A and B are shown apart, each in its own frame.
Chain A
Amino acid sequence: MEKNVVHKYLRKNKKFPHIWCPGCGHGVIMSSMLRAIDKQGLDRDDVAVVSGIGCSSRTPTYVDFNTIHTTHGRALAFATGLKLAKPDMTVIVVMGDGDAVGIGGNHFIHAARRNMDLKVIVYNNNIYGMTGGQASPTTPSGKKATTARYGNIERSFDICELAKATGAVYVARSTSYHVQALEKYIHRSLSKKGFTVVEAMTHCPTTYGRLNKIKEPVAGMIYQKDHFIMKAAWDKLPEEKREGKFPMGEFVDIEKTDFVSKYLRLIEANKE
């Protein structure tokens, strides 16, 4: 019997169900990633999945590729070294929001700036879920976290805008509800050379959800369905109607030579 696409890439020596809470969107992002990899037709020996620390970073444990679970925020720096050593390997970097643009913010902007050929998937649940629900750099203003009990008074990062400004060649956002678009964007990012970012919005029923009254997984997905609007429609939306809504879709899709390709040329030109 032919295996289901997702089951095909799960590690057979790992116990399922996985560690994530009931209804957590992370599982949906992981399956979207696996379908996209399958669609791209990659040999699994030539795929590496690198993560940092946090809920999202449990992904590599479950998938049958070359996998590394690194330190908090540093996944991109580890992946940079790996990519230099193995230029032909597809290196996918999965990170949470706090992981990617909080503790790992410096690595994020510089990996984008030097256009490392890394395929970033940010699982954005707007909170540090695993460590106890602390506010992350993407916790929206006014929303609650265990370290922002009266509502977050900080401004939040827009990860896609940040990726765009720092030089990513492909930037897209989808949600765990908009699963077909999510798979499509990840697939597109895999087919591109250079630093790509797919921001996958995911609902966190356990910490973010409880604190912000969206604790049922279904409610989390309904929120995504109602609040995320395709870019084309968003662009036409008058400013006053954008309040509380977020754009999704493909924001950047350009061509630029990546770091490793340039370095290999440099080696060629200076070889003794």
Chain B
Amino acid sequence: MSVELPKLGGKFIQMEDEIGSMASIIGASIGGLKSMTATSGPGISLMQENIGYAVITETPCLIVNVQRGGPSTGLPTMPSQGDILQARWGTHGDHPIITIYPHTVPEIFEETIRSVELSEKYRIPVILLLDEVIGHMREKIDIEKVDKNKSFKRKTPDVPNEWFFPYERNSSGVPAFADFGEGYRYHITGLVHDVDGFPTSKPDQIDAFMKRMFRKIDDNLDDILDWEEYELEDSEYMILAAGCVARSAKQAIRTLRDEHGIKIGLLRPKTIWPFISSVLIDKAQDKKKIFVPEMNMGQLLLPTQRFASSICDILPFNKINGEAIYPHELVSFIRRNI
């Protein structure tokens, strides 16, 4: 980006640390720019405090986290899916968040654009969660598919400045964003604030603010959630997997179907947070078992159990040795367990 951005009139800066990187992209977004940062491992932990600041101030921005094995400095640069729950609950306090989890290089390209749009549209930081396996992979991207003239613009105020409420409770749940310098002089704070942007400690105002923050996401799940169904139509068994594990799962499904006659398919969340709970409940209905392979000790397993444990059996497959999950491992695990 340090090479490409100046050519397009964009700005790049290498900050002193990841705390500063996260802070500066929020500052840039307040100034009206689309902004992003990228990191891995300890860097994402350092960013957590200011990710919370972006949530509470409703400042759009994109954070790319290429996961490595952890904790601490952990396993640079070996694959892991250890940050799935951190992406949801990494910053302190109750809060909504959007996390997108692509599984191929072209999909990273498409989903980055979608992530920025979601972030601007719902005024929320979006985490683009990647696997190291895909982060270091080269695949073809069809750039021509992207309409370069189409660029999502955030909703800005359409009232004179005296009538502008920066955190207005409107029907969409998403207030208009006034970029600094446009004549709407207002206050932005990490303290819980009322519609005028100033801190409040009044329970009714706190309640209204917090609930609107959740409502703007919960009311728009149709737009935010995205997932892929692979060979699910006639399947008796289902794999729920994300990222590079879903690629191994697809290969395993081919083998299980073609060589062993097992009717199995894949449900792959592309939007990982908020979780695709209603889709899972729907797809789980006619399944005998759900397999949840992941490169951690059961992070996707938790929401899967929460929504589907009363519907069918759920079996985890966990691998945390710094290697990807291979298709043949899934084939033998699934054959042993059906």
Contacts and interface: CB of A to CB of B under 8 A. Distances in A.
A179 interface: no
Interface in A26-68: 44-46, 48, 50, 60-61, 64-68
B15 interface: yes
Given A77-B20, A84-B24, A270 B30 contact: no
A32 B115 CA distance: 44
Interface residues of A, number: 39
A270 B6 contact: yes
A152 interface: no
Contacts of A272: 7-8
Interface in B11-50: 11, 13, 15-17, 19-21, 23-33, 35, 49-50
B7 A270 contact: yes
Contacts of A44: 185
Nearest to A107: B20
A146 B28 CA distance: 38
B30 to A, nearest CB: 6
Given A14-B198, A61-B199, A106-B20, A69 B32 contact: no
A82 B8 contact: no
Interface in B185-204: 185-191, 196, 198-199
Given A64-B185, A69-B188, A106-B16, A84 B28 contact: yes
B9 interface: yes
Interface in A232-272: 263, 266-267, 270-272
Contacts of B29: 81, 85
A271 B11 contact: no
Contacts of B199: 61
B23 A70 contact: yes
Contacts of B9: 267, 271
B261 interface: no
A77 B19 contact: yes
B7 A85 contact: no
A13 B33 CA distance: 29
Contacts of A48: 180-181
A64 B183 CA distance: 11
Interface in A65-124: 65-71, 74, 77-86, 88-89, 106-107, 110
A263 B11 contact: yes
17 contacts: A45-B181, A45-B183, A61-B187, A66-B180, A66-B181, A69-B189, A69-B191, A74-B23, A77-B16, A78-B27, A81-B30, A84-B31, A85-B180, A106-B20, A107-B16, A263-B6, A267-B6
Smallest CB-CB A-B distances: 6 pairs = A85-B31, A81-B27, A81-B24, A77-B23, A81-B28, A77-B20
Interface of A: 13-14, 44-46, 48, 50, 60-61, 64-71, 74, 77-86, 88-89, 106-107, 110, 263, 266-267, 270-272
